[in-house]
Every structure is written in C-alpha cells, then in structure tokens.
Structure 1
C-alpha cells in the first residue's frame, strides 16, 4: 500500500513538473525579487528629492512652478502604498506607475531649468545630488527591465498550453508589466551636465 502511495506521489510530482508547476514557482519568486528592487530604487529616488528641493530653494528667483510640481508629484507617488501585492492588481499597478512617471517628468523639467542658474551649476552639493539622481534613474531602468523579463516568462507560461491548465488549477493569472510608453519615459534619464556655457535666468516679469 505504501509503495503505491509513493508511486502515485512520484507520478503527481512528475506531472506537475511537466505542466509548468515548477516554472510558476521559479518565475513567481523572480517577479517578487525584481519588483522589490524596483520599489527599492523608487524609494531611493523619493528620499533624494527633499534634499534637491531644499538646495534649489536657496537659489533666488528659481521657477516656483517647476519646484512645486516636483513636490506635488513626489507627494502623489509616495501616497500610494508600494507593496508586493501591486503586481497582482493591474489597476493599482498602473496607477502607481502613472504617479512615478509623473515624478520622472517633473524631475527632468527641474534639471533642465536648473541649467539656467550658474550658481546652482557651481554648487558642489547640488552637483552631487544630481549625480546621485542620475545613478538612481539608471538603477530604476535596470530593475524595471529585470521585472519585465521575469513577468514575460511567467505570463507566457500562464497563456501557453499545457501550462495554462496548471495555471487555472492553481489560480495563477497574468501579471501586469510596464508599457512601451513607460519605457520611453525612462529611455533618456535626466542628464548630468555641469559643463558648457551657462544661461542667464530670465528676468522676473
């Protein structure tokens, strides 16, 4: 009797392996790890922003609208609870990513505008913060690409036969990923350029 149970258990394990069960286990763990790194890098960026804002505030006549948009975009991005469960909720995932994209745009605008202020360009602290921001944006891109790869492998298994049968049995469903528009948003991270001729800020109207 015991030998029969062992045989049946062995056959069940082999059957699950052949139907992609192990693939789901592996890719699901890869998704969790890569998503955790994405969140880690987004948090790193959010932590840099208050120092950048405070440094820019010290520059006379800096465009307040640009600064305000960065502050507001950071507030929106950090107001969304970044949890591992986001990858299982397409709607929440897209909302979270839209907020992060908005922050990316606001930061890019701030760095472009800062080029018009020679004192900021000569500020060693500001230079270091910009370099840290660029490095963080690059790490965000790498982390996102790893997440995309893991989700792609997982989603292919969910949709393909016969692994889709295993997915239905165990409740595995397609997970959301970053869109082409998202990737274009990060295709050119904020550029750190402390050289070149400095432009004078426009006179206040």
Structure 2
C-alpha cells in the first residue's frame, strides 16, 4: 500500500488542480455570457431608438416648411450610429468610445431637431409626433438602464479574471478585460439652453 501512496497523492493533486482551473474557466464563461447578454440589451435599446427616429423623421417631413438641414443632420447621425458595431466577445475601450461617440452625435442631432420643432405649432400638436416624442423619452430611459446593467455585468467578469491566481489562467483561456460604458465626451459640461421668446 505504501508504494501506491505517492501515486494516490499525485492523482488527488492533479484532480484538485484540474477542478480549480475548470472552476475558473467555467465561471469566466458564465460571467462573459452575462456581459454579452447585457450588451445585447444595450443594442436592442439603441435599435428601438433608431427605429423611432426613422418614424419621427417621416412625421416631421410632413411639415412642408421644416428645416431640411436639421432633418438631414438627424438622418446622417442615425446612419453613422447604426454603422458603428462592436464584437461583444471583445469589447475594447476604443470600440466602446467610437460607439459612444456615434450615439452621442445622434442624441445631439435629435436634441436639435426637438428644439427646432418648438417653432411649428401644427407639428407640436400632431398626435403621432407627440406619441413618438413620448416613446423616445421612454427609450432614452431604457438605454440608460441597459448601459447601467451592462456595466454591472462587466464588473464581476473583470474582477474574476483579474484577481490572482485567476489572472494566470484567464489569459491562457483567452479571457480579456472588458470596457465599461463611460459618459459621452463633454457630458460634464452644463447644457446651454436658449429660449427665443421673440419668435
């Protein structure tokens, strides 16, 4: 029996190491899937906004004397925002910054459109427009929630793959740190609001 003891100890040690490494990998896979699900929810929220903006632009086009340049800015910003895509398995800070910038440009163009609408009483009274405006406000809240939940999903994943000794094995299995959503550049500055009561 003594001659088998070293082999038994070796097998137990190997099984212990295997079990530990397997646990690191499986937990990282589960957390990564949570991040990808959260990212899918972010994209779904942005897609809903893009769809609503398309309907909003069609409604606004009905106002014959509406500023063409304002509508074109929204349409172009929408096209740029939908063209910016990210691979959810490898979300880098650079990709997220580009995505954020494109979505921020769309938000800015949309804000200008909604401010310009104030000059058009018929459009402001249009029930379709009012409904779309309410849905857009609701969607912006959904986007904020989805982005917050994405960051909440990224944190445990990053913690898991960065703590020692998990970080030794996570790199071997191809797990990389994921980026968080940050505020759009310039969001810390106060918004300038101008009311033109002369018109």
Structure-2-length-normalised TM-score: 0.79
Q: 1:150 maps to what in 2?
A: 153
Measured in 1, the distance between the counterparts of 2:27 and 2:101 equals: 30
Q: Residues 113 and 6 of structure 1: is their aligned pair in 2 closer, same or farther, counting only changes over 3 Å?
A: farther
Matched, 1:168 2:171: yes
- Within the candidate set 98, 116, 126, 1:113 is matched to 116
Distance 1:13 1:29 in 2: 22
Does 1:129 pair with 2:139? Answer: no
Instruction: Tell me which residue corresponds to 1:61.
Output: 65
Any stretches of 5+ residues in structure 2 without a counterpart?
A: none
Say yes or no: does 1:15 pair with 2:20.
Answer: yes
Shift of 1:9: 6.4
1:52 alignment counterpart: 56
Corresponding residue for residue 140 of structure 1: 143
The partner residue of 1:33 within 21, 32, 37 is 37
Give the CA deviation at 1:173: 1.2
Question: Does the 8 A contact of 2:49 with 2:136 survive in 1?
Answer: yes
- Residue 108 to residue 158, structure 1, CA distance change in 2 (3 Å): same
Cα drift, residue 109 of structure 1: 1.7
TM-superposed deviation, 1:130: 0.8
Residues 151 and 175 in structure 1, CA contact (< 8 A), matched pair in contact too: yes
Counterpart CA distance in 1 for 2:155 and 2:92 is 16
Asked whether the equivalents of residues 96 and 181 of structure 2 are also in contact (C-alpha less than 8 Å), the reply is no
Residue in 1 that maps onto 2:82: 78
1:49-92 Cα offsets, whole Å, 9 max, x none, are: 2211111112243222221110110111122345534x434433
Q: Which runs of 5+ in 1 are unaligned?
A: 189-198
- 1:157 Cα shift? 2.5
**Larger Cα Rg: Structure 1 or Structure 2?**
2
Supply the distance in 2 between the matched residues of 1:26 and 1:151 (Cα, whole angstroms): 12
The alignment's TM-score, normalised by the length of structure 1, stands at 0.77
